[in-house]
Amino acid sequence: MRDLDKALADIVAIRTQIARETAFRGLGSATLAATGVIAVGTACLQAFWIDDPTAKPLLFFGAWIAAALLAVALIGVETVRRSRRLHSGLADEMVTSAIESFLPAAGAGLCLALVFGRFAPDDVWMLPGLWQVLTGLGLFAAARILPKAVQLAGAWYLLAGLSVFALASGDHRLSPWLMGLPFAVGQGMLALIMHRAMMRDQGGSDV
């Protein structure tokens, strides 16, 4: 039994290693573009319906958290579906590897929101910039399994987050556009990158 257990453990380790070294194609370009549309739509709704977002931080961030959950749900469903089709037997390992790449940044973003809301409510204006910087770092971490060009989108999120810090540092106001536009552009870049990678893979498979 010990030999069997060791053999099974070795197989799991090998499959996990292969998944970590294989390019992940579970992200669909159309779904990524849709999340950019969600960001623009959320910013538009807030711009028209919330007179002063700074005075209503719970409503402001609640809407963005809801938008993020919707985006994650869309990406998650599409990722599982595409992974099972494109990665076949390695689908579970590939999805797990992708989650491991993004989880630290996502967890840090959630923890920051909780800490700011509980201990520094006057400084919540920094959260949009911080979330964008963390998104950029998550993309850099995921570049090992995604097309290398995602680092361009990661760089965009880093620069956008720093720019949002600079723009909001004067009056410490919350702006739907400083949240929505950077994410819309970033997700659009990701959609284009993944689309080009898919077309390149399809072209290579025909040779």
Q: How far apart are CA 8 and CA 141, in angstroms?
A: 29
Q: How far apart are CA 10 and CA 18, in angstroms?
A: 12
Lowest-confidence segment of 7-16, 19-28, 71-80 by average pLDDT: 7-16
Q: How confident is the model at residue 155 (pLDDT cuts 50, 70, 90)?
A: very high
Tokens at residue 149, please? 């060009």
pLDDT at 207: 34
Cα 6 to chain centroid distance, Å, stands at 36
63: CB partners within 8 A, 6+ apart: 42, 45, 46
Average pLDDT, the chain: 84
Q: Can you give the C-alpha Rg of the chain in angstroms? A: 19
Would the pLDDT of 189 be above 90? yes
Would the pLDDT of 9 be above 70? no
pLDDT in tens, 104-140: 999 999 999 999 989 999 999 999 999 999 999 999 9
pLDDT in tens, 19-70: 454 456 768 899 999 999 999 999 999 999 998 999 999 999 999 999 999 9
pLDDT at 90: 58
DSSP 120: -
Would the pLDDT of 199 be above 50? yes
Rounded to the nearest 5°, which phi and psi values hold at 26?
A: -80, -10
Instruction: Please name the helix (run of DSSP H) or strand (run of DSSP E) that holds residue 186, with its range, or none.
Output: helix 176-205
pLDDT at 145: 82
162-185 per-residue burial string, b: 16 or more CB within 10 A, e: under 16: eebbeebeeeeebbbebbbbbbbb
pLDDT at 73: 93
Tokens at residue 137, please? 């770092």
Q: How confident is the model at residue 87 (pLDDT cuts 50, 70, 90)?
A: low
- What global pTM score does this model have? 0.84
Question: How many residues in total does the chain contain?
Answer: 207
Tokens at residue 197, please? 């990678």
15: CB partners within 8 A, 6+ apart: 90, 93
pLDDT at 99: 79
